[in-house]
Structure 1
Amino acid sequence: MIITEMPEPVLDKIIEFSDFKAVLTLRQVCRDFLNFIDDLNDSKLPDSKLLTFGIRSDYTENNVIVCFMGPDDSFYRFVYSEVEKSRSFNGKTTNLKDEDIVDVAIRDLERILKFQKSTFQWSCFNIHQLFRRPKFPNLEVKLSNMFRKLNRKIKTEILDIMAYSQVGFMSILPFVDPETLKRLRLFSMNKTVRIEMNEIAETEQWKNAKSIYCYFYALKVTVDDICHFSNVFIKMLYISARVLDFLRETITSCSNIDFSRFKFEIPNENEEMSNLWGHAFITAYLGFTNYSWYFRMKNSKEKILLAEIRPTRTKTNICFENIESREVPNGAIVHDFKGNTILLW
């Protein structure tokens, strides 16, 4: 009896006692093994235990690239070439003939994700394409369709997405498990682009994450949308003194906020900010004047909120940072959580 003629329960046992690499090798033995493995229920497949994965479209080389890293630092890299109509993996190149390279890449990605039962440490979707002439215009749609077919959320602690619009981010974000997501980082090739965030901010993934980093100008995002984060970096076209004061009051008054650091970047300094909370502690750095204010956190004698405005030639950084009382410099004024002056340090 040849192996492919064995009863299914026996073949199931073979798969059960095989690891991820062994099963991938079995898929390449013959067409019968490939079909048998691809038709298996996900629960019967071994956990690949991959640590990271990423997919990106390289419009300069006309490639789609899919990468994985295993628990033993093993690295898997698939390159799908539009020019050569091929797939390259571990030195082996397969001619794809008339097949769409995006279809092949996503089909391979789906097969590998079926093995993943543990949580990725990091996942990356670099699906940014030139807005006026996208090379792979259906990549976002086909990724979304694949995730729907997979019918389970991607478990990852860190998620990076590079896209050119809210639609691009939303083609990925809803398919990530909000229970495992800790850090969300959103990128665009053009750092000056303006992207609306209202739909993104309504997702469970946004609401459950602990950190958010937004490397473009975010529109339609409110203070309420970011108050739950521990760490924030977000670029905004404008932020008013009233909004900053509301954020300061929210952070210092709510003892249940797990706060570490908020940083905003705006194009120009707002005049009203310099005297926002009265006399600032002023320092100079690289020829620029920094304005700092200090506030006690409610129900804490040791925790201090540092609010700092740091102008540069091209932008103004506004930071809120959680520090210890011993870090307050001599001569600085410390306010209570309501904004009243309590002592000179």
Structure 2
Amino acid sequence: MTISLIDIPENVLADIFRKCGFLSIFVLRKVCSQFRNFIDDVKPCIEVNAGIRKISLRMNSYHFRSSAYVKYEDHPKGCVVSYYKQEMKLPPPLPPLQSRPVPEWAQRSGKYSPVPTYNGPKLKECILEGVELMDAFSNDFQAVIGAQRSKTEFFRVHLVCLRPPPCPTRSFPMTRSINTNQRPYGNVIPYTMLSYFETREKFVFRFLNALEQTLQSRKQLLKVENCSMEVIKCEQLLQILPNIDSKYLKSIEISSPKICPHEEFEMDRLVTSNQWRKAKTFDLRSFYVSTPINNFLHFNSAKFHIHSVCCEDLKTMQQVFINSSNFESFEIGYNNFEGRENLIQTFGEAETNGRWYFWIFPIPQSENVLFLNVILCHPHIICFTRCPESTPPQKGCVNCHYSY
């Protein structure tokens, strides 16, 4: 008895594809329409890293046991493309913390869970003669997202080339000797050749333009649930975010490749976008904002740093959060607190030690309550939390796990 491809059950197909790598998946897409439709319906995670004259494209999926990534690097003849296979390996359990117990909020949120690490062999390497690095990446990236019809779990973009170099006292020297027995050009280009490279800012400019043009070439907006971008200004984010379908977007995470730049993030155009209004979670690291607090009140949870806050802002947030059944938590860092002496007058008597204030507000027709924690000393954070009164958050600085 002969079984055709269209007779293979979906659970058998899933087991087959779990054992396949990145290259095999692309080959199987061309076998028949059933394979192509099954693969395109997978909910993947896409990550793009822009290094110094090199780009890596990573594809992960909970449906596949192994994943892979492709690395594109400059070469005097064109572009070097390397394919790597990844196997997820869990590190050994963390030893118990002797000097500092794990807070309840960390146990609930899983922030102390071990993080998976990845390693794997190189599957293939080839040199595309006469093909520019950006063109090679754009063609493959377009093939990946062009075939994707299902929702993408994560879409991450990291500007690794703009990150500061590691401390020279804690890393290897910035020059490397070349083994004469090896090829002078491989998947790693010596640091001594950095004079050959264009400026990092110009490379990032070309990279984001290529990414934007590829996303715009799609007939439909990319269906992404969680968008994470590393940028140095809001204009770079706006090159990518409008190409994401707001109907599926759940969270927006923004960070900077710089170390604590504490620069203002101009968000006038961002807060008017559909993606901003539809997202439920917002996380902005390494920047501060001066936009009115009302622009953030539609989020269920948010973490950001604002330039200035006052008691009127906190009162507005209290009223909105009490009336919202979907609200979870807000963590707001601030530079200036105007009218801090009016806190007791605004919210009533509080539990305090002079450096922090803690209030509990009942929520009508709900088993939960609203907690407000205002920290006046470093790190200057305001926390709103909605949860059962039996499991309150930690008071004072113990609860401040968000760094700016």
Query: How does the TM-score come out when normalised to structure 1?
Result: 0.75
Residue 110 in structure 1 maps to residue 142 in structure 2? yes
Q: Structure 2 vs 1, CA of residues 271 and 164 (structure 1 numbering), >3 Å: closer, same or farther? A: closer
Q: Which amino acid aligns with 2:230?
A: M
Query: Are the counterparts in 2 of residues 127 and 139 from structure 1 also a CA contact under 8 Å?
Result: no
- Deviations 1:97-117, CA, capped at 9 Å, x for gaps: 232212211210110122322
Q: Structure 2 vs 1, CA of residues 280 and 137 (structure 1 numbering), >3 Å: closer, same or farther? A: same
Shift of 1:220: 4.6
- Deviations 1:32-87, CA, capped at 9 Å, x for gaps: xx9xx6xx99x96553414211101013xx31110001312321111111256301
Matching residue within 36, 50, 58 for 2:51: 58
Q: Which amino acid aligns with 2:83?
A: F
Match of 1:74 in 2: 66
Match of 2:355 in 1: 289
Structure 1 CA distance for aligned equivalents of residues 385 and 290 of structure 2 = 24
Q: Which amino acid aligns with 1:57?
A: A
Query: Are the counterparts in 2 of residues 128 and 188 from structure 1 also a CA contact under 8 Å?
Result: no
Match of 1:5 in 2: none
Structure 2 CA distance for aligned equivalents of residues 88 and 161 of structure 1 = 24
Shift of 1:223: 2.4
Structure 1 CA distance for aligned equivalents of residues 25 and 46 of structure 2 = 22
Query: What are the residue-to-residue correspondences of 1:25-64 with 2, within 5 Å?
Result: 25=24, 46-48=38-40, 49-59=42-52, 62-64=53-55
Structure 2 CA distance for aligned equivalents of residues 25 and 293 of structure 1 = 57
Q: Structure 2 vs 1, CA of residues 76 and 277 (structure 1 numbering), >3 Å: closer, same or farther? A: same
Shift of 1:124: 0.5
Match of 2:280 in 1: 210
Residue 89 in structure 1 maps to residue 83 in structure 2? yes
Structure 2 CA distance for aligned equivalents of residues 69 and 116 of structure 1 = 13
Residue 229 in structure 1 maps to residue 299 in structure 2? yes
Q: Structure 2 vs 1, CA of residues 26 and 170 (structure 1 numbering), >3 Å: closer, same or farther? A: closer
Match of 1:307 in 2: 372
Shift of 1:277: 3.7
Q: Which amino acid aligns with 1:302?
A: E
Q: Which amino acid aligns with 2:368?
A: K
Structure 2 CA distance for aligned equivalents of residues 243 and 235 of structure 1 = 14
Query: What are the residue-to-residue correspondences of 1:52-201 with 2, within 5 Å?
Result: 52-59=45-52, 62-70=53-61, 71-83=63-75, 85-90=79-84, 91=122, 92-127=124-159, 130=162, 133-134=200-201, 135-190=203-258, 191=260, 192-201=262-271
Query: Alignment partner of 2:314: what SS?
Result: helix
Structure 2 CA distance for aligned equivalents of residues 109 and 25 of structure 1 = 16
Shift of 1:319: 0.8
Q: Structure 2 vs 1, CA of residues 146 and 276 (structure 1 numbering), >3 Å: closer, same or farther? A: same
**Corresponding pairs, count:** 299
Query: Alignment partner of 2:228: what SS?
Result: strand
Unaligned runs of 5+ in 1: 1-12, 330-345
Query: Are the counterparts in 1 of residues 22 and 69 from structure 2 also a CA contact under 8 Å?
Result: no
Q: Structure 2 vs 1, CA of residues 193 and 271 (structure 1 numbering), >3 Å: closer, same or farther? A: closer
Q: Structure 2 vs 1, CA of residues 280 and 83 (structure 1 numbering), >3 Å: closer, same or farther? A: farther
* Segment drifting more, 124-133 vs 45-54: 124-133
Query: How does the TM-score come out when normalised to structure 2?
Result: 0.65
Query: Alignment partner of 1:137: what SS?
Result: helix
- Deviations 1:106-136, CA, capped at 9 Å, x for gaps: 2101101223222222221114654984134
Structure 2 CA distance for aligned equivalents of residues 168 and 219 of structure 1 = 16
Query: Are the counterparts in 1 of residues 154 and 226 from structure 2 also a CA contact under 8 Å?
Result: yes
Structure 2 CA distance for aligned equivalents of residues 165 and 127 of structure 1 = 12
Query: Alignment partner of 1:164: what SS?
Result: coil
Structure 1 CA distance for aligned equivalents of residues 385 and 207 of structure 2 = 39
Query: Are the counterparts in 1 of residues 159 and 257 from structure 2 also a CA contact under 8 Å?
Result: no
Query: Are the counterparts in 1 of residues 231 and 255 from structure 2 also a CA contact under 8 Å?
Result: yes
Query: Alignment partner of 2:287: what SS?
Result: strand
Query: Are the counterparts in 1 of residues 304 and 333 from structure 2 also a CA contact under 8 Å?
Result: yes
Query: Are the counterparts in 2 of residues 196 and 218 from structure 1 also a CA contact under 8 Å?
Result: no
Q: Structure 2 vs 1, CA of residues 174 and 321 (structure 1 numbering), >3 Å: closer, same or farther? A: same
State the identity %: 16
Shift of 1:27: 6.8
Match of 1:333 in 2: none
CA RMSD of aligned residues (A): 3.5
* Segment drifting more, 190-199 vs 218-227: 218-227
Q: Which amino acid aligns with 2:273?
A: T
Q: Which amino acid aligns with 2:350?
A: F
Query: What are the residue-to-residue correspondences of 1:233-272 with 2, within 5 Å?
Result: 233-252=303-322, 254=323, 256-267=324-335, 270=337, 272=339
Q: Which amino acid aligns with 1:86?
A: V
Shift of 1:147: 0.9
Q: Which amino acid aligns with 1:174?
A: P
Residue 219 in structure 1 maps to residue 289 in structure 2? yes
